[in-house]
Amino acid sequence: MALKDIMDEKNVEKLEALGNKHVEKIVEEFASICKPAKITVLTDSQEDIDYVKGLSVENGEESKLGIDGHTIHFDGYFDQARDKGNTQILLSDGVKVAKNINTMERETGLKEVLGIMDGIMEGKEMLVCFFCLGPTNSEFSIPALQLTDSAYVAHSEYILYRSGYGQFKKLEGSDKFFHFVHSVGELENNVCKNIDKRRIYIDLMHNRVFTVNNQYAGNSVGLKKLALRLAIKKANEENWLTEHMFVSGIHPKGKDRVTYFTGAFPSACGKTSTAMLPGNTVIGDDIAYIRVGSEGEARAVNVEQGIFGIIRDINAKGDPYIFSAITSPREAIFSNVLVKDGKPHWLGMNEEIPKAGINHSGEWTEGKKDEAGNEITPSHKNARYTIRINELENADPHADDSKGVPVSGFIYGGRDSNTTIPVAESLSWPHGVFIGVTIESETTAATLGAEGKLVHNPMSNIDFLTVPLSTYINSHLRFGEYIDKPIKIFSTNYFLKEEGEYLNGMLDKKIWLLWMELRVHNEVEAIETPVGWIPKYADLKELFKTYLDKDYSEEDYNKQFALRLSKYLAKFDRIEAIFKEEQDIPQVFWDHLEQQKERLNAAKEQFGKEVILPSEFETSGQ
């Protein structure tokens, strides 16, 4: 099949202007498999981008809301989160990635998914879009080709990613790009009908992902979590890092400096809100590439340029920048919220929610139940907004720097209600890597399945690993050796509870971040404990007063930072059992596990009790 047989002349010209036979071959191949009625090639021009935006409204995937530029998109009732069960990494060599990562024999997987794709775009328009992961014209840039029959997916990508038609020209014909083929499949009332045939298959061998019969962006948008998987493989082979991390600048009061941190948190565990804390300047909220810069420093870029954020609990008080952005005119896509009279409503917006409207279940009235008898919330817990970061008041001026920004600290967070203290600095780089890969976190609405289940989530990347866990750990250990300017590694937990009540307020994370910033600059001392360095009460008290005008009590401090030794020991026993089932885990990891347990046991013996207050470590000189 020749290009001219499947596209009009204008589109053929646009494609051929790239001078890339690999791109042409991919378009030909998937046009012949998916059999679209029409193919449209998009460049970086505003006219082309506007075409996609218009198309998503014209074909009903999005509808206009009352505020200029705002649209609403609904995903199907059973397509509201990432589908881990139907996501498979296709591997031919029998390599196991990690115990809980689905892998499938490559040929079998390809046959199945290509079979589902046969004729899947009949009667539809295939959009051929070009993007760049990371800033353009940069060492970080990875060109990415997206074929999709969803204008919503393409529209989301033009908000979330840098367009990359120009970047493809710079490839000079090479095949060094990622590609993604997506189809919503058959639609009924604008949502996917054949969810039983939903598949997300990752073909590492050819840097490509096939995803069908879905719309939820975490499943459909190639450049987000699908590209993350391909990039993890690439980074691990090329000695840099691809991480599920925000990038954000901290600006301490009265000091003329900005200190950049990156932080990994599982979805819906406070990543965006940490990146966006008032006073910070934000570069990215979800995925970072990190490389060693020319002066031996770690440098990070945001892979994206937009936010696909959880809308639940976004309100004027807690998230002023985002709230202001999504309630004023600009290009913004809302998904799976409740709509009434052209206005979006969501859980936790601090306004009264109407008792009827349209939501992800169709016509909704209060008390409506689904087929299983579960009450349907007005907006879905994983409902989202999609906006560009550079439109936010707190966007960092270096967000698009081709060299990225220098990073001084890594943060690993999780959702843990009874063990991990709110903030701790690891004792060394390898100890920090150990802390990162032993994160356990309770599951949330961002993935399909039960919520609140404690799962091991190394560096919040477990859902996306495409290399064996051992390789991933080794890459991190090595990265610490490549950098000449040390990075401190911290852990956080915002979700510690006592008798069902959170021990911390929503904004306390700001204080932890500012404390980390001071540690990076060696401006505060800390208390050494078996799990790392922790803040001194006096320093936190001062920070709480200065930044939140809050009198932080010693009682609160003691509750939050008391070390629950048996809980920690139980955690590391669970971790030991999990890692024993993995292959080739580096000896350094086992050494750290041993030392970690020894330190905890020694404290238990020394103090002869279960819960140790920070002041006891301070005076014991441990």
When the beta carbons of 14 and 82 are compared against ligand SAT, the nearer one is 82
C-alpha triplet 180, 447, 322: angle, nearest 5°: 85
Kindly determine how many residues on this chain lie close enough to bind Mn ion according to the rule CB under 5 A.
2
Residue 65 CA to residue 249 CA, distance in Å, equals 33
**For residue 284, what is the enclosing H or E element?**
strand 281-284
Structural contact between residues 169 and 17, judged by C-beta atoms closer than 8 angstroms: yes
* 264 lines the binding site for ligand SAT (CB under 6 A): no
Task: Tell me the C-alpha to C-alpha distance, in Å, between residue 308 and each of 24, 460, 463, 572.
Answer: 30, 17, 18, 34
User: Can you tell me which of 126, 212, 446, 585 binds ligand SAT, judged by CB under 6 A?
Assistant: 446
When the beta carbons of 246 and 617 are compared against ligand SAT, the nearer one is 246
Report the partner that residue 233 touches, choosing among ligand SAT, Mn ion, none (CB closer than 5 to 8 A by kind). Answer: none
User: Can you tell me which of 267, 302, 359, 394 binds ligand SAT, judged by CB under 6 A?
Assistant: 267
- Cα 259 off chain centre by: 21
Active site residue 269: yes
Report the partner that residue 217 touches, choosing among Mn ion, ligand SAT, none (CB closer than 5 to 8 A by kind). Answer: ligand SAT
For the beta carbon of residue 342, count every other beta carbon within 10 angstroms: 12
Residue 378 CA to residue 354 CA, distance in Å, equals 8
When the beta carbons of 215 and 272 are compared against Mn ion, the nearer one is 272
Residue 87 CA to residue 267 CA, distance in Å, equals 17
CB of 484 to ligand SAT, least distance (A): 32
* 262 lines the binding site for Mn ion (CB under 5 A): no
When the beta carbons of 217 and 585 are compared against ligand SAT, the nearer one is 217
457-516 binders of ligand SAT (CB under 6 A)? none
CB of 133 to Mn ion, least distance (A): 15
**What binding mask, one character per residue, do residues 277-306 give for Mn ion by CB under 5 A, x or -?**
---------x--------------------
**What binding mask, one character per residue, do residues 211-240 give for ligand SAT by CB under 6 A, x or -?**
------xx-----xx---------------
For the beta carbon of residue 197, count every other beta carbon within 10 angstroms: 18
Task: Tell me the C-alpha to C-alpha distance, in Å, between residue 30 and each of 37, 184, 207, 509, 528.
Answer: 13, 15, 15, 47, 58
CB of 308 to ligand SAT, least distance (A): 6
When the beta carbons of 124 and 225 are compared against ligand SAT, the nearer one is 225
Q: What tokens were used for 575?
A: 């971790």
Q: What tokens were used for 571?
A: 């955690």
Q: Which of 435, 344, 438 is nearest to 385 (CA)?
A: 344
Residue nearest to ligand SAT (CB): 218
Task: Tell me the C-alpha to C-alpha distance, in Å, between residue 291 and each of 155, 177, 238.
Answer: 30, 19, 10
Q: What is the 3-state secondary structure (H, E, C) of 322-376?
A: HHHHCCCCCCEEEECCEEECCEEECCCCCCCCCCEEEECCEEEECCCECCCCCEC
CB of 462 to ligand SAT, least distance (A): 12
**What binding mask, one character per residue, do residues 218-257 give for Mn ion by CB under 5 A, x or -?**
----------------------------------------
Structural contact between residues 383 and 353, judged by C-beta atoms closer than 8 angstroms: no
Report the partner that residue 207 touches, choosing among Mn ion, ligand SAT, none (CB closer than 5 to 8 A by kind). Answer: none
When the beta carbons of 135 and 218 are compared against ligand SAT, the nearer one is 218
* 267 lines the binding site for Mn ion (CB under 5 A): yes
When the beta carbons of 28 and 319 are compared against ligand SAT, the nearer one is 319
> Which residues are part of the catalytic machinery?
269
Binding site for ligand SAT (CB under 6 A): 82, 217-218, 224-225, 267, 286, 308, 446
Binding site for Mn ion (CB under 5 A): 267, 286
